[in-house]
Chains A and B, each alone.
Chain A
Amino acid sequence: MSLLLVKAWLRDWRRRPLQRLLTLVGVVIAVAVVLAVDLANQSAQRAFDRSMDEVAGTATHQVLGPARGFDEVHYRDLRLAGWRDSAPIVEGPARLPDGRTIYVLGVDPLAEGPFRGAASDIGDAPVQRLVTEPGTILPPSGWWAGSGMAHEDRLALETAAGRFEVTLLDRAAERDEPAAESDDEGGSLWVTDIATAQTLLGRPGRLDRIDVRLDEADIDAFAERLPDGLELVPVAARDQASRELAQAFRINLTAMSLLALLIAAFLIYNTQTFAVLRRREVLASLRLVGAGRRALFGVVMLEALLVGVIGTLLGVLVGMGLAQVLVGQVAQTVTDHFFVVAVTEVTPRPLALLAVIALGVGLSLLAALAPAWEAARAASPGSLGRGRLERRARRGLRGLAVAAVVLLAAGGVILLLGIGGLVGSFVALFLLITGFVLLIPLVLAGVLSGLARLGRGQTLPRIGVRSLERSLSRSAPATSALTLALAAAISVSVMVGSFRDSVEQWLGQALTSDVYVVPVAPAAARNGARLPADWGEPLARIAEAESVSTGSSQDTPSDAGMIDLFVVEPHPVWLDYLPLLRAETTGAALDQRLRERDAVLVTEPFAAHHDVGVGDRLEIRVDDGRRMFEVAGVYRDYGSPQGTVLMLGERFYAGTAGAEEVGSFGLRLPDGADAAVVIERLEAWLAERETAAMVTRPGDIEQESMAIFDRTFAITHLLRVITLLVAFIAILGALMALQMERAREFATLRSLGLLPGGVRGLVVFQGAVLGGFAALAAIPLGLGMGWLLIEVINREAFGWGMDLRWPVREIGETVALGMGAALLAALIPAWRMARMRLVPALREVP
């Protein structure tokens, strides 16, 4: 390829830097968003996996007992019987002075080697000190940097058993090594000796589980040796549900990033096409001096390659920065809903980086393909004229409409037949979205034509509308991008708004007590803090309560794997408040069934994940071993994405002495009781107790729950903003292109006497027409997407059902936002057009 040819083509960058910048911005944002979401996802995933692996290690099975743990003598017996590949564990949450929750893993360092040596710090830990010095603990190495603490500092930990001072050991300092780089993205486990953990977590002489490694052949023999009350559970079953759910969350995020990518693709296509067509004079001249078609095609593609490479490299840098913001949010969501993870930095994987680079460069090349083809095909300067191209674009509208119908039909079929699970649902959603977007040019052409007819007699508005209509190849992609971004914003509003309303409503129903007494220490299904069960009677007396309820969450094995079991002693007529979706019977009859027979209720997500319904049976481990329970009903619940099984205490403890500890008490006060006075009396009584507990009201719990909810969706909102930003740039680019192409026309109008303000008004009017169309088109698309997210994708991913809410206010806001974005985008070209020098513009070749 001739160097002069390349120079002739690329020197335009100096003349129109803003146009090149817009193309670059498209690539940068597309690459940055996809990379950032991928990095955040992968980092959180590694953290999640690492935390799970640290907990489970290389164990194939775990020996589990009742929720309150089991005697450590069983471990000794197993070792003595020759089962050496076993390690005892005491685990549970604790709270740091700064309020963050951590996860304490108590291990026997001497037995740990085969289990977690490679996967955690334990293999390198100063084993001697953990064993010989009670109260020492090993924080994850990534924690030190931001903590302000040093090796051998003392730190207060709050746990279910109270407040304890521990001595922090830094592995690097202990081994006289330089401070470790934060290489443990996932390190969130605070490892300590089992004896220290027993003290910290209030489990003297007891274990929570024993990790074992078993060959297939030994499993039955091992299970037979276990005493009553203990059982062997495969590790995979234990964590599978959490892993699947966290994956569903990540798929949701990836889909959002792909939506941003789709919108960015419009932007890149628009700017690339414009960049080529605007230089049609150069192209024509090059053809006239003998440049071949292949050379012209090559030079256009070379430029696209340059844009792709530069944009992608910048995008990678921006993406890394954005990932730092996103990863914290993703990790927080995983922590809130699934498992405590801490991520301190993002590390790009070479493969992911390569994929993103290929994506950015590929997108740029793909977008330039059509204009490069046009450039090469041009036999004469006239053949690249806008009129001709627009006529061709117009002829293509029907083809697009046919493609749209095919895509819409394909999406509909996938949804109706439920093909491909969650991924299939997303594919269907994207097919439907793309189908809708492909219809936009046809609809836009029709609307603009109608507006032009309406505007007969209004010359200037007519010029504005007709000019848009005649530049359909320019205005349609930009409008599609804006429509898509606004629709995404509406759909997120529909989904999050519906979800939020449903959660609020559910909290109102679920929190049926007037006052709650809960442990101060963090509560969790695995060894969360508990309160003495015998507090019920004095609490009721002091509060003069009408009734007292209790509730305790615990992980328990079942034939459906490890499940979250919620054991309750409810208030009278509690079922009147429970949002039952399906049940064998209702009210008093259902209450009687749950009390007298082995029956449970399950939450909607549980029913969805485990494919169980009313009348199905579940084998669940209760206080005295496994029993079969019938599912008597399914109720709506947003407490846990994994799902929960609700069982009455009298069934769980049937045949045993009953609960020694409970997770919380709920007190229902008589009408007219002053809750503030009751809380004061309760707090005075609790102050004298050994177990730290506090009184909360439903409002506090609601507030905290909604805060977690809002944290979960913060990332969605962030991605929504980025998407809108891309769309804004797309419409800005399109309007600028449109106005630059029409510069001669504007100059003519100015020479005929149109004032600079009139030009500004005309350009802003065009922005308003495109923005208004995009906003109106986005409403049906956004509502449809929202409905699909709620009814199909959320059910598929999380099993949650929710009442659809039409967010009129948010729709209004989004429409205003679309109009605002379009008007704002119109301001720059309006300003430029009003200030342009008329003579050079008048001299431009039409």
Chain B
Amino acid sequence: MDEQGSVAGMVLSMTDVGFAYPGEGEVLHGVDLELGAGECVAIVGESGSGKSTLLHLAAGLEPADAGTVRLAGQALAGLDEAARTRLRRAQVGIVFQSFHLIPTLTALENVMLPLELATDLDAALRRERAAAQLAAVGLGDKAGREPEQLSGGEQQRVAIARALVHRPTLILADEPTGNLDSRTGEEVFALLLEQVRATGCALLLVTHSDDLAGRLDRVLRMQDGHLQDRAAETPAT
């Protein structure tokens, strides 16, 4: 199968990707990754190993210095900033560790935002769909609250709803439970997984927790900028 053929049907494909922050050493090198539709993959690794950077490159938030990143079959390197943004808003939903809700919008408005940016739906339909998504994460009764009126767990639920509302093909989650206590973290993780499975999109999750990672389809380890399949490194029992 040729290279084009190998990425066909992949939501995300990274081939021999390298990246360095200005003035710093190389963070990623020779990273290969393929993520199929509906596949849920975890990336684990030490702090500073390059996990989050890989996620940023996958979202097109930073351009890779070397190699190829393809999102929904489209190579990011050939796209300008605006085209990358259009692709991202259509195909990707992001859940951040520190929620990143817009503080000046209510929970419902936060969830409506991707619909406003990425779709042509009319306002009533946007509101209806956002309300449904918010209800799906258990916050239907808190739609009018602003982020600072919500607990950390509730804020992350809003963020999950926002990431899913426009039906992306890929959810990128960067330590989504990192700012939550263990019980809330567990709840939020379960919700995320449930919603991802329900919508059928792929999930690339960065986490420190081996426990959480183990509940996904595949676990990859990031070490010193290299990505290794953990199944390959652990002998079968």
Contacts and interface: CB of A to CB of B under 8 A. Distances in A.
Contact of A842 (B82, B100, B112, B114): B100
A387 interface: yes
B129 interface: no
A697 interface: no
Contacts of A846: 98
Interface stretch (B42-50, B116-124, B229-237): B116-124
A753 interface: yes
Given A457-B123, A846-B98, A752 B104 contact: no
Contacts, number: 75
A494 to B, nearest CB: 39
Contacts of A459: 105, 109, 112-113, 116
B236 to A, nearest CB: 38
Nearest to A471: B104
Interface of B: 53, 56, 59, 61-62, 81-82, 85-86, 88-90, 94, 96, 98, 100-105, 109, 112-114, 116-118, 123, 127, 148, 162
A329 to B, nearest CB: 48
21 contacts: A387-B103, A457-B127, A460-B116, A462-B105, A466-B104, A466-B105, A470-B103, A751-B88, A751-B94, A751-B100, A752-B89, A752-B113, A753-B85, A753-B90, A753-B117, A754-B89, A755-B86, A756-B81, A838-B56, A839-B61, A842-B96
Contacts of B109: 459, 462
A823 B220 CA distance: 49
Contacts of A838: 56, 61-62
Interface in A731-758: 744-745, 748-758
Contacts of B103: 387, 470, 745
Given A752-B113, A753-B85, A463 B104 contact: yes
Contacts of A842: 61, 96, 100
A168 B105 CA distance: 81
A324 to B, nearest CB: 47
B197 to A, nearest CB: 23
Contacts of B88: 751, 753
Nearest to B88: A753
Contact of B104 (A470, A750, A754, A837): A470
A383 interface: no
A459 B117 CA distance: 10
B59 A751 contact: yes
Nearest to A470: B104
Given A462-B105, A470-B103, A744-B100, A751 B114 contact: no
Contacts of A751: 59, 61, 88, 94, 100
A237 B210 CA distance: 98
A467 interface: yes
Nearest to A452: B104
Contacts of B61: 751, 838-839, 842
Given A459-B105, A463-B102, A466-B104, A756 B62 contact: no
Interface string A821-846: 00000000000000001110010001
B104 A467 contact: yes
B78 to A, nearest CB: 18
Contacts of A387: 103, 148
A362 to B, nearest CB: 37
A752 B94 contact: yes
Name the residue among B98, B102, B109, B162 with the largest chain A CB count within 10 angstroms. Answer: B102
A757 B102 CA distance: 19
B10 to A, nearest CB: 21
Given A745-B102, A752-B114, 16 more contacts: A457-B127, A459-B105, A462-B109, A463-B102, A466-B104, A467-B104, A470-B103, A744-B100, A751-B100, A752-B89, A752-B162, A753-B114, A753-B117, A755-B82, A758-B117, A837-B62
B98 A752 contact: no
A842 B118 CA distance: 21
A744 B86 CA distance: 20
A387 B147 CA distance: 12
B130 to A, nearest CB: 10
A754 B94 CA distance: 14
